[in-house]
Structure 1
Amino acid sequence: MGRSSATGRVVHGAKKFTAPGPRRRWMPRASAAEIGIRCRNRRSAGRFLQRDRACSASSPERMAARLSTRLLRGTWRGTSVPDSRGMLNVPDVPVLRRRDRLDPLDDRRVRRELAAGRWTRVAPGVFVPMAAWRGLNPLQRHRLRVEEVTSRLPSSVVISHFAAAAVWGIDVLGSWPALVDVTIDRASGGRSGGTLQRHALGVAHRRRVPFGRHEVTTPAQTVLDLARMLPYVRAVSAIDQALWIGRPRGPLATAAEISDILERTPVARGGRRARRALAASATLSANVRETHMRLLVVALGFPIPRLQERRTLPSGRCVFGDLYFPDADHWLEIDGRGKYTSPEYTRGRTPAAVVIDEKNRENEIRREVRGFSRLEATDADHPQRVYDVLTADGLRSSKPRPRAGDSVLR
């Protein structure tokens, strides 16, 4: 048996290995039963794992096998494997900790390695090789920071806001903070410093669950806390990630659960902002950039789109469109550059082969719909560009073209 570093629970069937350095760690092994649970049905698994493969070639059993491979490799949407409660496990990277070393760490060497860019400091006395750090996405980096900071605290805390989002694997549009968020009693004051950002909001009415010797706010409470303080688009992106039905174990929360907490909470700042964000949320936004683009096209005056439109092409290939405008029969693809470079998507193919396959897929789709557009995920940062592309491709807007500097999304 092994012990989970995140939850403090005993994990049966754990596999022990020796990480670099003197510390020994435990990695849980997914069971066949867990793998079967994570692939609940053909439709949901096919939607999120087999978007570019023929539906006829994807039985539930084969999808479960492919899903289990991705879970064990830790490549689900570029994040680490979720644990049994849906929490995101700590990224498996080499970590150098002063407190773990029998021999003192040479301060001059530390300064030299940091200055040369070979190490990066995650928390006081905790360092990670820069090569490993670059291999983590921002969500994983903050998850590692939360683990290292909270493991050093002398007393238990309630992990909340961005820190709780990282624990649950809830991505958020924009940058992640350098400090770890915790919520404390109102009487304690909101003084922050060092490694912690303290929110004096009170803990009595906050829904939370055990997290080792600490507590962490539930997914619904976490995104509600974020929605009270973040701008509109970032707030919706956080809620969408909690509601997303494509997670291995299903959504982390429901809109009804978030609404219930909102209505039962004593009067607090940000309630109106949170209600607006919740009203605009959706369960099918696979990532924060899809949320951003969905909100932007509506704000630009285009029709309200459907998400993850499913079509079976004449060739038998089953495809899903990121955004689809049914009245105009217009299909919109939102691509990140990782689609052409990330091993998760290339599956051993060269970038040229990926481009050719994507072009053939696009040609098939174009023959089935009236209009087709393709945008990069980062185009959502440029409303004029999005407006120009969609109107040039035949999609009509009820609003004029935004001027430079106009605040389209408020």
Structure 2
Amino acid sequence: MDLPHTDLFTRADAIAFGLTDDDLRRLRRTGELSVLRPGFYVPGAVMQSASPTERHSLLARSYLLSAPTGEVLSHVSAAIAWGFDIWQLPLDKVHMTHGLDYASKRRPLRILHGTTLERTERTTINGVPVTTAARTIVDIARTSSVERAVCVGDSALRSGHTDSDALSTAVESARFRTGISAARRAVSLMSGRSESVGESRSRMLFETLPLPTPLLNQWVYDGAGRFVGRVDFLFWEFKVIGEFDGESKYDSKRVLLDEKYREDRLRDLGWVVVRWNWRDLDDPRALLRRFEQAFTRAAGLPTPAGWFGDQRLAADQLPSFG
């Protein structure tokens, strides 16, 4: 039986398409149709293949379809619309803000936040009404852990949809709201130079360990001025490089071999390289010991050859090499 040619439709849409309530019940029994929430349907195949964020987006769209003018997606729902990383942010409820300063309304699948929303804090993404990137990040930072907030904030800065000035303005605008102290701390720790959730989490872990502050995403050159590689973390005074290995970083044998060659060249220059992955982030003491051992090994080595900087330079921009 044919369904409306869309990934989300209402009962009224189905009736207009020619389906009856009996048809809808039958399609639900066979699994060809899924109920997103009362009165809103998604083809079964779409629901089965949807990721958690895609399911959240479908639910968010269903609430926007029935929302009065002025309500916008906010918090994690807006972050998804923006395309930001949302590491460990709960997806069970859609978050919306209506801009009226009275108590929030909680429902099983939605939270309607009652906080002031200025015109300049509203925008649209692909036609979807949302809070601006900066307002979204500060709302998340007020209501989530610092680590989670920094992960999404780093993603927002990296994407170019916001910057530190906009975040500072958003923090100031929220100065009387619940959770603003946590938001201030989280925003102060955000950096667009972290290129993944793993790097953001690593940076936050370093904040809790007795480790020196590393330089982020440095471009390393050899003694002849040839580019060797971009590294995640550079403890330059200690002659140590840190690299976070994500699950999908090496998705082919060719990539793996290229990475091995790059690391061999870094070691040849005199750098000591420490690698870690997601599991290592859950064992901070073990990771700290590995860094301490690396610092000890590097202390007996000469200063690494070559040069490094925070951006890729053309040959005529490089310093002279001895």
Give % identity. 25
Contact 2:214 2:233 in 1 (8 A): yes
- What is the distance in 1 between the residues matched to 2:145 and 2:246? 23
Deviation at 1:190, TM superposition (A): 1.8
The residue number in structure 2 matching 1:107 is 25
Are positions 1:363 and 2:277 aligned together? no
Are positions 1:274 and 2:256 aligned together? no
Q: Structure 2: which amino acid aligns with 1:383?
A: P
Note closer, same or farther for the CA distance 1:264–1:315 as it changes in structure 2 (3 Å cut). closer
The residue number in structure 2 matching 1:389 is 290
Note closer, same or farther for the CA distance 1:325–1:111 as it changes in structure 2 (3 Å cut). farther
Deviation at 1:162, TM superposition (A): 0.9
Contact 1:206 1:217 in 2 (8 A): no
Which structure is richer in relative contact order (CA contacts within 8 A, separation 6 or more)? 1
- What is the distance in 2 between the residues matched to 1:163 and 1:395? 46
Q: Structure 1: which amino acid aligns with 2:264?
A: N
Aligned length: 288
The residue number in structure 1 matching 2:122 is 208
Contact 1:157 1:183 in 2 (8 A): yes
Which of 23, 41, 48 does residue 126 from structure 1 map onto? 41
Which of 58, 74, 78 does residue 160 from structure 1 map onto? 74
Which of 144, 151, 157 does residue 243 from structure 1 map onto? 157
Note closer, same or farther for the CA distance 1:271–1:382 as it changes in structure 2 (3 Å cut). same
Q: Secondary structure at the match of 1:233?
A: helix
- What is the distance in 2 between the residues matched to 1:111 and 1:222? 39
- What is the distance in 2 between the residues matched to 1:110 and 1:304? 56
Note closer, same or farther for the CA distance 1:360–1:129 as it changes in structure 2 (3 Å cut). farther
- What is the distance in 2 between the residues matched to 1:229 and 1:181? 12
- What is the distance in 2 between the residues matched to 1:392 and 1:134? 46
Note closer, same or farther for the CA distance 1:210–1:358 as it changes in structure 2 (3 Å cut). closer
Q: Structure 1: which amino acid aligns with 2:206?
A: V
- What is the distance in 1 between the residues matched to 2:175 and 2:119? 8
Q: Structure 1: which amino acid aligns with 2:71?
A: V
Q: Structure 2: which amino acid aligns with 1:107?
A: R
In structure 2, runs of 5+ residues without a counterpart are 298-322
The residue number in structure 1 matching 2:95 is 181
Note closer, same or farther for the CA distance 1:160–1:320 as it changes in structure 2 (3 Å cut). same
Question: RMSD of the alignment, in Å?
Answer: 3.2
- What is the distance in 1 between the residues matched to 2:60 and 2:254? 40
The residue number in structure 2 matching 1:199 is 113
Which of 301, 304, 312 does residue 213 from structure 2 map onto? 304
- What is the distance in 1 between the residues matched to 2:85 and 2:192? 14
- What is the distance in 1 between the residues matched to 2:266 and 2:36? 46
Note closer, same or farther for the CA distance 1:308–1:119 as it changes in structure 2 (3 Å cut). farther
Deviation at 1:151, TM superposition (A): 2.6
Note closer, same or farther for the CA distance 1:155–1:322 as it changes in structure 2 (3 Å cut). same
- What is the distance in 1 between the residues matched to 2:249 and 2:100? 46
Which of 230, 237, 256 does residue 320 from structure 1 map onto? 230
Contact 1:156 1:214 in 2 (8 A): no
Q: Structure 1: which amino acid aligns with 2:171?
A: L
Contact 1:120 1:129 in 2 (8 A): yes
The residue number in structure 2 matching 1:372 is 273
Deviation at 1:268, TM superposition (A): 1.8
Note closer, same or farther for the CA distance 1:204–1:134 as it changes in structure 2 (3 Å cut). same
- What is the distance in 2 between the residues matched to 1:354 and 1:321? 15
Q: Structure 2: which amino acid aligns with 1:333?
A: E
Deviation at 1:157, TM superposition (A): 1.0
Which of 327, 336, 344 does residue 246 from structure 2 map onto? 336
- What is the distance in 2 between the residues matched to 1:282 and 1:336? 19
